[in-house]
């Protein structure tokens, strides 16, 4: 078990399979993109499967989420999913994606064993999409969502980040869009993770503001906090149910006390928090022929160093040197 010194147990592994992305969301990376990791530094398919296999069969990980960068850009993703789905005990397998290309990949991923998708969608306006993501791909995302739902990867979850002065007027419309199609929407507060370090606390659209915007148009009833468990989203029943909306107040309503996550970066570094200032290298020992026991010891060192909180609200908070795209959101 991956239990830290505060008694939290990590059961949810986020695996970044590439740092590359085909969008340029301004809250994540600059318009010109980033210097991508050189290919030899990326874990191979076999290396990913070995590390995920150890985590699942020896360390109590029950959920594996593939992310990035944009995970659909990794050509081997369906094959990786298939091999992870063959592990015993079989973990729950999901992907967080921007949805571009999902219309084509939903069927092979489903056939490989993918259980669920989280698709990022911040706006319903093509012009605002271009402003936010620097690419004209809204229609692809909408098509990807529809394909995932059609193939039965339900509930299809949608993640939205609101940016002040850009898409912050769209909260009710995004919720209506998701309710009409049976998607489960979650708003995520913007976090200080962008490569260009442009995050400003006073610019961030807060969970309170999002709730106030929705409250005018929908009846929202909070689901019992006890049912939330380690889920980051505070969930509300919308208009009497059964559909819900989630608000992930990572900054103003942190949920670190019940965090159950650990992360593996695309270049084989373990992180115990999105905001961790250090990493535990798995790639070097892996490539030097380390035994399972040696690799497991590295996972245990990582989890033991996990801090009680992400520190965003502490004086002197420093953003991690690595951008979100490399860490894997
Ligand atoms: N490319 C995929 C996608 O768009 O979903 C996966 C990677 S992306 C980093 C994962 C999630 O992190 C997305 O939902 C994205 O909106 C969110 N995200 C990225 N930067 C963020 C930030 N600074 N604050 C909050 N959420 C962020």
Letter string b/e over residues 146-160, b meaning 16 or more CB atoms within 10 A of that residue's CB:
bbbbebebeebbbbb
Find out whether the beta carbon of 96 lies less than 6 Å from any atom of ligand 1: yes
Among candidates 96, 142, 130, 159, which has minimal Cα distance to 24?
130
Q: Which pLDDT score, from 0 to 100, does residue 228 have?
A: 66
Find out whether the beta carbon of 161 lies less than 6 Å from any atom of ligand 1: yes
Count CA atoms within 13 Å of residue 310 on its CB side: 23
Among candidates 306, 293, 223, 225, which has minimal Cα distance to 260?
306
Find out whether the beta carbon of 159 lies less than 6 Å from any atom of ligand 1: yes
Which residues, in sequence order, are CB contacts of 40 under 8 Å at separation 6+? none
Ligand 1 pocket, mutate which of 15, 17, 120 (most atoms under 8 A from CB): 120
Q: Which pLDDT score, from 0 to 100, does residue 329 have?
A: 76
Find out whether the beta carbon of 191 lies less than 6 Å from any atom of ligand 1: yes
Query: What is the whole-number distance in angstroms between the Cα of residue 294 and the centre of ligand 1?
Result: 32
Which residues, in sequence order, are CB contacts of 209 under 8 Å at separation 6+? 168
Please give the Cα distance from 95 to 264 (Å, whole number): 14
Find out whether the beta carbon of 98 lies less than 6 Å from any atom of ligand 1: yes
Among candidates 47, 43, 108, 106, which has minimal Cα distance to 69?
43
Ligand 1 pocket, mutate which of 72, 97, 122, 161 (most atoms under 8 A from CB): 161
Distances 108 to 42, 79, 103, 263, 293 between C-alpha atoms, Å: 23, 9, 10, 25, 34
Q: Which pLDDT score, from 0 to 100, does residue 103 have?
A: 98
- Whether 144 contacts 102, CB under 8 Å: yes
Residue where the block lists tokens 């059961």: 11
H helix or E strand, kind and range, residue 269: strand 269-271
Q: What is the pTM of this model?
A: 0.97
**pLDDT tens digits for the chain (329 residues)?**
999 999 999 999 999 999 999 999 999 999 999 999 999 999 999 999 999 999 999 999 999 999 999 999 999 999 999 999 999 999 999 999 999 999 999 999 999 999 999 999 999 999 999 999 999 999 999 999 999 999 999 999 999 999 999 999 999 999 999 999 999 999 999 999 988 888 999 999 999 999 999 998 999 999 977 666 667 789 999 999 999 999 999 999 999 999 999 999 999 999 999 999 999 999 999 999 999 999 999 999 999 999 999 999 998 898 988 888 888 87
Query: What is the whole-number distance in angstroms between the Cα of residue 20 and the centre of ligand 1?
Result: 13
């Amino acid at each position: 078990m991956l239990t830290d010194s505060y008694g939290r147990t990590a059961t949810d592994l986020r695996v970044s399979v590439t740092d590359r992305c085909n969008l340029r969301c301004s809250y994540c990376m600059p318009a010109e993109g980033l210097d991508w990791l050189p290919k030899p530094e990326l874990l191979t398919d076999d290396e990913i499967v070995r590390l995920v296999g150890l985590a699942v069969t020896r360390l109590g990980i029950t959920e594996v989420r593939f992310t990035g960068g944009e995970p659909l850009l990794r050509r081997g993703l369906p094959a990786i999913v298939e091999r992870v789905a063959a592990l015993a005990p079989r973990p729950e397998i999901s992907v967080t994606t921007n949805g571009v290309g999902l219309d084509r990949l939903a069927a092979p991923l489903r056939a490989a064993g993918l259980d669920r998708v989280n698709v990022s969608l911040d706006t319903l306006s093509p012009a605002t999409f271009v402003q936010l993501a620097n690419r004209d791909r809204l229609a692809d995302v909408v098509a990807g969502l529809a394909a995932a739902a059609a193939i039965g990867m339900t509930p299809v979850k949608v993640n939205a980040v609101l940016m002040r002065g850009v898409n912050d007027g769209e909260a009710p419309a995004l919720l209506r869009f998701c309710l009409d199609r049976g998607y489960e929407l979650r708003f995520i507060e913007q976090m200080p993770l962008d490569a260009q370090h442009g995050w400003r606390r006073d610019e961030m659209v807060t969970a309170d503001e999002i709730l106030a915007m929705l409250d005018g148009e929908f009846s929202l009833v909070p689901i019992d906090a006890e049912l939330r468990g380690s889920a980051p989203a505070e969930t509300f029943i919308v208009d009497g149910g059964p559909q819900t909306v989630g608000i992930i107040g990572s900054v103003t309503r942190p949920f670190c006390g019940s965090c159950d996550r650990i992360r593996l970066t695309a270049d084989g570094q373990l992180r115990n928090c999105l905001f961790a200032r250090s990493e535990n290298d798995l790639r070097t020992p892996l490539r030097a022929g380390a035994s399972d026991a040696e690799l497991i010891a590295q996972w245990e060192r990582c989890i033991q160093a996990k801090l009680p909180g992400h520190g965003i609200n502490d004086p002197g908070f420093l953003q991690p040197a690595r951008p979100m795209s490399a860490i894997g959101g």
